[in-house]
Amino acid sequence: MLDSVGVTGAAIRIAHDHLLGLYGPLREQARSHDLYRGARSDWRVIHYATFLFCRSTVVTNTAFNSLPLSAAMLANLESLGYAEMTPIQAQSLPVILKGMDLIAQAKTGSGKTAAFGIGLLNPINPRFFGCQALVMCPTRELADQVAKEIRRLARSEDNIKVLTLCGGVSFGPQIGSLEHGAHIIVGTPGRIQQHLRKGSLVLDGLNTLILDEADRMLDMGFYDAIADIIEQTPQRRQTLLFSATYPVGIKQLSSKFMRDPQTVKVEALHADSQIEQIFYEISPEQRLEAVVKVLGHFRPASCVAFCFTKQQVQEVVDHLTAKGMSAVGLHGDLEQRDRDQVLAMFANRSTSVLVATDVAARGLDIDALDMVINVELARDSEIHIHRVGRTGRAGEKGIAVSLVAPSESQRARAIEELQKAPLNWQQYDQLSVKEGGKLLPTMTTLCIGSGRKDKLRPGDILGALTGEAGIAGTQVGKIAIFDFQAYVAVERSMAKQALERLNNGKIKGKSLRVRIL
């Protein structure tokens, strides 16, 4: 075995070969050595080597090849369409790859998942099937999205296993998966804590701990659970904390559990933002009807309307439905199956409006969102920026409408100060409902009473629709498969035909119950 001098020597050699562009092969040589294979803490060899390289290298561009990443990782990033680093990636990755603790303030959609995903994969030893990286998220939906992205990033490595541990699903299968081993765990604090108490999860070999959307986890009351989990991890670990805002609880966590963390922050709004913000002053009594008028005037194909409480969510959904509009609600009291259904319907464009609380909507990855409506102004101006940032992504234009009662004027001034620009106030009386019929989506969702546990695949559903049901492939939208249910979008005009033929036919050789949502 190498002694401590040997470890340092190996690290220096690896760092030297970074400069020669040979880091990937030599990292594999280091991993094959007895020292790396036998000990759980030898990720320090890689981190120390990377530190030596990064200390003498200033990242002067946003290309991923400016970082000390393996050739395999760079090739994978290119194949995934990662051309250049986003601002949060450019600022945080050099820090992460040095093995330093980090506090990063950035919103959803900034590219933060790839930032910590690339970073946590760097020291992973594929030959040790213990938990080497732990990512905590506020919701199951976010955990699933994070795990999916890490799996994509891990394609450059051999046999990296990523496991999600979240509530709302059976405990037993998770224990079975843990017994087979996993390199990376992504989950919610409550379920992770349960596994630690039962002894089914052990964190002795943990290298990297990530708190994703830490502010929302604190909002949901997870501080004690997070603290309990962190206390069961090795002291010699790297801790990465990502948060859209920086409340007092974040400061408490960082001061107690992080070592000299570096801080990076990506500005909330950029000068080249494609988001048009509009503010309307209304009376409290006008609020519900104002949502109807905004939707009727702008006629977005997809919209998220943000509310404070589940009661307000339900009031808005009921009012929109009574006006003939398609809307679904999302809040923290929904059962997991109902959440899956709501999110599937909104993602596949079979409902136009998602009415949600901030916490329930946190971490949702929504493509091409046309509009955001602030049914009531957020009490925190940075949360307002986070809401607004849901639209206008990837160079697309977006509209954010805020309904402001007189009692919310102070909140509006705080937003104005944060944006360092005057707000765009327009007259509420000038809103007019445009012609074009009811605001109804073009797709309809079919719910199938079978799922992942029955080994149902998207191809099975598509084949049944385009075969026995006689539906053209172009008339089928997104397919989402969960453990015991599956959802598929079809064009509204073909929904009844698809329902009848699927109920009278078979999917994967079985007769399954299908219904329209």
Whole-number Å distance between alpha carbons of 313 and 310? 5
Average pLDDT over residues 113-123: 92
CATH level 2 (architecture), domain 275-430: 3-Layer(aba) Sandwich (3.40)
What radius of gyration, in Å, describes the C-alpha atoms of the chain? 25
Burial of 107-116, coded b for 16+ CB within 10 Å and e otherwise, reads bbbbbbbbbb
Neighbouring CB atoms inside 10 A of 380's CB total 18
Each residue's pLDDT tens digit, 58-84: 344 578 888 988 999 999 998 887 878
Q: For residue 436, what pLDDT is reported?
A: 60
Average pLDDT over residues 48-52: 43
Burial of 359-370, coded b for 16+ CB within 10 Å and e otherwise, reads bbbbbbbbeebb
Whole-number Å distance between alpha carbons of 129 and 417? 50
CATH level 2 (architecture), domain 443-516: 2-Layer Sandwich (3.30)
The pair of structure tokens assigned to 489 is 């979008």
Query: Of 3.40.50.970, 3.40.50.300, 3.40.50.2300, 2.40.50.100, which CATH number belongs to 85-265?
Result: 3.40.50.300
Confidence of residue 402 (pLDDT cuts 50, 70, 90): very high
363 vs 290, higher pLDDT: 290
List every span in the chain annotated with CATH 3.40.50.300: 85-265, 275-430
Tell me 320's DSSP state.
H
> Which residue's structure tokens are 């409006």?
353
Q: Is the pLDDT of residue 478 over 60?
A: yes
Q: For residue 1, what pLDDT is reported?
A: 34
Q: Is the pLDDT of residue 119 over 90?
A: yes
Q: ∠295-297-303 over CA atoms, to 5°?
A: 30
216-219 long-range Cβ contacts below 8 angstroms, 24+ apart = 216/138, 216/244, 216/358, 216/359, 216/362, 216/363, 217/136, 217/137, 217/138, 217/189, 218/247, 218/249, 218/250, 218/253, 219/138, 219/358, 219/359
- Beta-carbon contacts of 324 under 8 Å, excluding residues fewer than 6 positions away, are 438, 439, 440
Closest to 516 in 3D by CA, of 500, 276, 507 = 500
- Please tell me whether residue 44 adopts helix, strand or coil conformation: helix
Note the pTM of the prediction, 2 decimals: 0.59
β-bridge partners, 443: 491
Alpha helices by DSSP H, listed for 56-99, are: 71-79, 87-97
Return the beta strands (E) in 429-485 as ranges: 443-448, 476-481
CA dihedral sign, ordered 214, 142, 385, 272: positive
Average pLDDT over residues 146-162: 89
Q: Is the pLDDT of residue 258 over 90?
A: yes
Average pLDDT over residues 360-368: 67
Q: Is the pLDDT of residue 205 over 80?
A: yes
